[in-house]
Chains A and B, each alone.
Chain A
Amino acid sequence: MESHLGELEQLVILTLLRLGDDAYGVSVQTTLAERTGRTPALATIYTTLARLEAKGLVVSHTGEPSAERGGRAKKHFRVTGVGRSALKRSLADVRALTQGLGSSWSAP
């Protein structure tokens, strides 16, 4: 079944694509803040990531614990092929609707 992306889900997937291998909770939050000015709580980000993972759009793998993390492991995230397709589709939808919207509107 085709998944449709929510707004935050879209942003998170895009962020993961930018971050590549280095994508985890804090890095996603920081990137989103730098690029969009929005700082969602880590809890929100992890929830979104969990939902995306359940839909098969991203996968996670747990890394090694480290001292600077207080002995806790880091969870890395990566976009899957299905996730890329979903993202492409979502962006295409936006484009389709913004096309020819009128002179007062200039597509970003």
Chain B
Amino acid sequence: MTPVGHRPPRLAHWLLGRLLASHAREALLGDLAESRAPRAAYWREVLHAPRTWFAPRPFVTTTPNAGEGRVPQFLMDVRYAWRGMTRRKGMTAVAVGTLALGIGASAAIFSVVHPILLRTVPYPAGDRITMLWERDAAGERSNVGFLTFDDIAREARSFDAVAAMRYMNVTMTTSGEPRPLAGQRVSPDFFRVLGVAPVLGRAFEAADDVRGTPNVLILSDATWRDAFGADPAILERQVVLDGVSYSVVGVLPAEFENVLVPTAQIYAPLRYDASLPWACRTCRHLRVIARLRPGVTGETSTAELDLLAQNLRRDHPSEYATGGMFSESLSRYVTRDVRPALLALLGGVLIVLLVASLNVSNILLARGASRRGEFAVRMALGAGRGRLMRQLLTESALLAVIGGSLGVLLAIAGVRALVAIAPTELPRLSAIGVNGSVLLFALLLTALVGVLFGLVPARRAAGPQLQESLRSGARQLVGSDRVTRSVVVIAEVALALVLLVGSGLLLRSMDRLLAVDPGFDAEGVLTMQVQAGAGALRTDTLVQRFYASALEAVRQLPGVEGASFTSQLPLSGDYDGYGVHLQSRPSANPSDDPSAFRYAVSPGYLETMGIPLVRGRTFTPRDDERAVPVAIVSATFASRHLQGLDPIGQRVRVGAHDEGPWREIVGIVGDVHQESLEAEAPGAIYLPESQWEFVDSQRSLVVRGDGEVSALAPSLRAAIWAVDKDQPIVRVVTAERLVAATAAGRRFALVLFEGFAIVALLLAAAGIYGVLLGSVTERTRELGVRAAFGASASDLVWMVIRQGMTLTLAGVAAGLALALGLTRTITGLLFGISAIDPFTYAAVTVCLLLVALLACFVPAFRAARVDPMETLRAE
């Protein structure tokens, strides 16, 4: 082995044997031996050995040799695969493009799903944070009153910290022009529950929550930068909100996301105590959030809360409904509306990826078939089957890697587009992006896809039947090959049908949803919200006077046919409900009385909004604070809660059951959807704004105009500001937009699903096209013979079309069965239509068959043009 007396370092020698490329190995090791090179020289060569891989060598399989290093062989495979790909640019482009599309789309959807469903709560141990609710008479979540919260905080053992919160909308008049700010009023433990601490200053303490002490404020990072120019001396700075002075005591970290109120800019202490009228148990307007004690589960905490609820009901029977209380994980609550849609989208996109992989698999199968001769020769030269398969898998891996990389680029662009069209109420919208987890997901997909779609073609191309087939002739192999490719295409068609059915159902749901009558005439109505309370409007009387003057001013404007203020605007996100108690039917537990959405409106509201009057009368200017208190209820409210009675003339109390005036019902109006078009129209009660004893500082203006109503916005704003320039005006939007926006979430899902379905359909059609084309090419001889024996062109065309449509029908049958099973999972997304709606299934099937027919055309024509004379000549 080695010359006498020469002892090369064994490790270096062994490494060189592995690391050197074959063209240099023999010669180099011999050189080192001949020159009796010292140890250092051997190690130097080890370091330089990898260079030998980068010399071009024609690929020739030598006899299997244990000395062949694995590493350089892999690189040689890669080079060879690359050359093969660049030689067949068209096929490669199609395969890479298809993969890029599939992997890119999947990665993009995962980018959306990941922060929303998998990392919903971006707080330490976020899965330990829960929301605490009461259950109302209908069994739904209900907010909590302050005294209830106080009891929970003191008595419940399941939680480390409990906090209450409510919205806060104020106007800051410190620097420059008045600036509306939105945020939350929170009890002192709020940030403790979340596990977040301000990065500047401090969090709230118990002392801050006491009325009478100096008011304090915590800012979000964005607000500190935007409104205060990131002032380094922000702490202790005085800020005036709605005429009251606050001292800034903290600034939150830039990464902090408030998942419950994403737009919160400021936080102030709640400052409730038992003496306040609105701290009552039935004043249910607080949301409660808590952090579970270590070792306590959600179920345990719900059990304890239920027990607590029982005690409360026993002690205050008229103030608690029978529903009890429960705890719900924060992540579940935040994603309750979007989870079904996101899961459906994830499922849909993975189906697209599967179809894409099948398509590429077929491309490789076709290619594999045409390289059979090449493989046979190489096997004859001694290449093992494993060797060939490894090389083929390298090729598919290379395709997958290139496709995957392009896919990631596509995903980055796609995610940007998704975020742009996503509905704004999507939780964690700001966290959506192509990050490390997404890249990891893309990597895993790429690996999976590369193996999956590479395996079958590799087995078939280099499989055991290769040697046999060469003996028995190629025809057998071609036949079984065609079967595999046909099966793949059938699978593609089936999957495409599933997606088509899904998007068809969603499309029809959308149609049904938009056909729902919102209850008012949205055309020609403009709305805007005014947030009075800043500057000079310190008292209720002043606020009331402001709104009266503003309404006067607005009504004078040209182009205004009707105008009115309302405390709550339909389909705007407003949610203001009160208990309604019937005088003629007092109930044992007033907390079980029905609740309704309360609208405190100026006279003319119902007419401006085009809400139809069913019975009785609407409000007039004479229904003011000196007149008998009156009310108008919605038809649903009347039919649900006043059956057996004539609603007109009944007397009701709104709010507390034992306080406040009895109001006489003077009219019934049509139902109006407040929350959304899909939610059932709830009971509603309308009151003249001057007869509501609490003054609503925030009201929405509704204006009906002739002509282009949104053009009125500037003059409306000017008119209101002419009365008082310090009152912010926000949420300027036409009623039509409000109605359209309620379906934003659905529309988002629908657009994406349609995209998936179209892509899958095109891929399936391409698959059919590919298989038929291949089949025609392979059977050219057969077709020529048939033609020579008298088959007409149309006979040949029919043969091809029959083959294609048979595949398609098989796929359709499989797809329908799959769809019937799978569409069950999107029932939650459907509206007004069943998951097995026959019309949708039929329409989609017809569409698919037509597209498949189109895909058959070119191959069919190719078959028709086969010249029998040429074929016979070639025989």
Q: CB within 8 Å of B: which residues of A?
A: 24-26, 41-44, 46-47, 50-51, 54, 62, 65-75
Contact = CB atoms under 8 A, between A and B. Distances in A.
Nearest to A75: B27
B625 interface: no
Chain A CB count within 10 A is highest, among B6, B35, B56, for B35
B24 A47 contact: yes
A62 B57 CA distance: 16
A60 to B, nearest CB: 9
A75 B26 contact: yes
Contacts of A42: 24, 28, 31-32, 45, 48
17 contacts: A25-B28, A26-B34, A41-B51, A43-B49, A46-B27, A47-B51, A47-B54, A47-B55, A50-B55, A50-B56, A54-B57, A70-B30, A72-B30, A74-B30, A74-B34, A75-B26, A75-B27
A68 B54 CA distance: 29
Contacts of A24: 27, 31
A41 B48 contact: yes
Interface of B: 1-3, 6, 20, 23-24, 26-35, 44-45, 47-52, 54-57
Contact of B27 (A41, A54, A68, A72): A72
Contacts of B48: 41-44
A50 B44 CA distance: 20
Nearest to A46: B24
A41 B27 CA distance: 13
A5 to B, nearest CB: 16
B52 A47 contact: yes
Contacts of B35: 26
Given A26-B34, A46-B52, A51-B55, A73 B27 contact: yes
Contact of A68 (B34, B44, B52, B57): B34
B177 to A, nearest CB: 70
A45 to B, nearest CB: 9
Main secondary structure of the interface of B (DSSP, over half): helix
Given A25-B31, A42-B31, A42-B45, A69 B55 contact: no
Contacts of B49: 43
Contacts of A72: 26-27, 29-30, 33
A43 B45 contact: yes
A46 B54 contact: no
A72 B6 CA distance: 14
A32 to B, nearest CB: 14
B33 A73 contact: no
A43 B27 contact: no
A68 B56 contact: no
Contacts of B52: 43, 46-47, 50
Contact of B28 (A46, A51, A62): A46
A73 B51 contact: no
Contacts of B6: 70
A66 B4 CA distance: 12
A54 B57 CA distance: 7
B3 A68 contact: yes
A65 B50 CA distance: 25
B44 A41 contact: yes
A44 B55 CA distance: 10
A72 to B, nearest CB: 3
Given A46-B52, A65-B30, A69-B3, 13 more contacts: A41-B45, A42-B28, A42-B31, A47-B24, A50-B23, A50-B24, A69-B30, A69-B31, A70-B29, A72-B26, A72-B30, A72-B33, A74-B34
A41 B49 CA distance: 9
